[in-house]
Structures are given as C-alpha cells and as structure tokens.
Structure 1
Amino acid sequence: MQRLAIMFRIKPGTEDKVRDLLANYAPPVRVAADGTRMLSTSVFMKDGIVVRMIEIDGNVPALLAHISQDPSIQYVESELDKYVVEEDKRDASTPDGAREFFRRMAMEHITTRISPREEVQA
C-alpha cells in the first residue's frame, strides 16, 4: 500500500462550497485497467488549505492516468478550479495535466506507522 497526499489553497470564504463539493461528489471507478486499486481517500481542510490523501495498491502513474479520465473526477476538479487560488490552478482534463498538478502539489511522505495486530486473549 502507498499513500499520497496533495495540498492546495482555496479562496477565502469558499470553505463551505469546497467542503460540500469534496464530501458529496460521486466516487470514481476505483480500479485502473492494470489492476491498480484506490483503497481510500481522505480530505482535510483548515485555514484555506485542503489536503487530500489517497491510499493505493499498485502503480501510482497508472492510477493518476486512470482517475484523470474518470467523469466524476473531471467534474469535481473542474468545479474545484472555481475556488482554488490562482497560483494553485491545474489542468486536470488530461493525464499530463493531472500528473503535473500532483507533481507540484504532492506532499513529502515522511513515515507511516501501523500498529501490529494483537490477538484477543480469551
């Protein structure tokens, strides 16, 4: 499993619209042609900064190409562009545009710590 996170800034006063948009859009098809799976997504927002985290099983470039062509993602990204600050704008309509956006806005992954499973004592 891999985790990716991107961040971008939104215009002041648009938090409610962005919150509603990101909480309520139709989910994309979660499996790419090569079998790469999007396991989960999480969205966080504070003080005009949005962080989107994605967990995947498989090939990151394949997933980015896949989701950039998904109608649900194309819709939410085009709507988000109304609220994103100008310097963080992106062209999510093509795989190259989506890759460039992810490259520019990707956060460095420092560490992931997962608690080991413990057996329940009877």
Structure 2
Amino acid sequence: MQRYAITFRVRPGTEDQVKDLLANYDPPAWETPDGTRLLGTSIFIKDGVVVRMMEIDGNLPSVMAHLAAQPSIRELERRLDEFLLEPRDLSTPQGAQAFFRGAMMEHVTTRVATFEARS
C-alpha cells in the first residue's frame, strides 16, 4: 500500500462550501482497468488549506488517469474551481500533470503498529 497527498488553498470564507462539496460527492470506482485499487481517501481542511490523502495498491499514474475519467470526480473538480485561491487547468493532461506536480506533498514517513500474538 502506498499513501499520497496533495494540498491546495481555497479562498478565505469558502471553507464551509468546500467542506460540503468534498464530503458529499459520489465516490469513484475503486479499481482501475489494470487492477490498481484505490483503498481509501481522507480529506482535511484548516484555515483555507485542503489536504487530500489517498491510499492505493498499485500504480499512481493509473489511479490518476482513472480518477480523471470518473464523472463524479470531474464534476467535483469543476465545482471546486470557483473556490480555489490559485487557478488550475485540469482540462488537458498537461494541465492536470502540472497541477498534481505542484500540489503533491512529499512523503516523509509512515509508521505502522505491529502487535505480537498473545497466548
């Protein structure tokens, strides 16, 4: 499993509208045609900063292409555009790649608890 996160800013005073959009969109299909699986997503917001985290099993470029083609995600991203502090262009593969390159957070570490079996 791999974890990825992107971050972007929204205009001051729009946080409640953004929270509503991000909490209430239809989820995408969880598996891509090549078998990569989107295991889960989490979204955080504070002081106009949004962090979208996803866990996948497989290939990140495959998930990104898959999500870009999902109708519910396309609609969500279109509706989010009006609230963004910095404009973006997701209408072309080049624009989407540029946005994600700039928005992708650097993964520093993941720690997972391990437990010994009890008798």
Q: Find the aligned partners of 2:57 and 2:94 in 1 and give their Cα distance.
A: 21
Q: Measure how far apart 1:101 and its partner are.
A: 1.4
- Provide closer, same or farther for how the CA distance between residues 83 and 50 of structure 1 changes in structure 2, counting only shifts above 3 A: same
Structure 1 unmatched runs, 5+: none
> Identity over the aligned pairs, expressed in percent?
57
- Provide closer, same or farther for how the CA distance between residues 67 and 8 of structure 1 changes in structure 2, counting only shifts above 3 A: same
Instruction: Please say if 1:23 is aligned against 2:23.
Output: yes
Identify the residue that residue 105 of structure 1 maps to in structure 2. 103
Paired residue type of 1:20: D
Identify the residue that residue 35 of structure 2 maps to in structure 1. 35
Identify the residue that residue 76 of structure 1 maps to in structure 2. 76
TM-score by length of 2: 0.93
Q: Measure how far apart 1:120 and its partner are.
A: 4.3
Q: Measure how far apart 1:102 and its partner are.
A: 1.2
How much is the aligned-residue C-alpha RMSD, in angstroms? 1.3
Q: Find the aligned partners of 2:24 and 2:60 in 1 and give their Cα distance.
A: 24
1:50-69 alignment to 2 at 5 Å?
Answer: 50-69=50-69
Paired residue type of 1:60: L
Paired residue type of 1:99: Q
1:86-105 alignment to 2 at 5 Å?
Answer: 87=86, 89-105=87-103
What number of residue pairs does the alignment pair up?
A: 119
Q: Find the aligned partners of 1:93 and 1:31 in 2 and give their Cα distance.
A: 23
Q: Find the aligned partners of 1:94 and 1:66 in 2 and give their Cα distance.
A: 14
Q: Find the aligned partners of 2:65 and 2:26 in 1 and give their Cα distance.
A: 18
Q: Find the aligned partners of 2:93 and 2:38 in 1 and give their Cα distance.
A: 17
Q: Find the aligned partners of 2:31 and 2:92 in 1 and give their Cα distance.
A: 18
Structure 2 unmatched runs, 5+: none
Paired residue type of 1:27: P
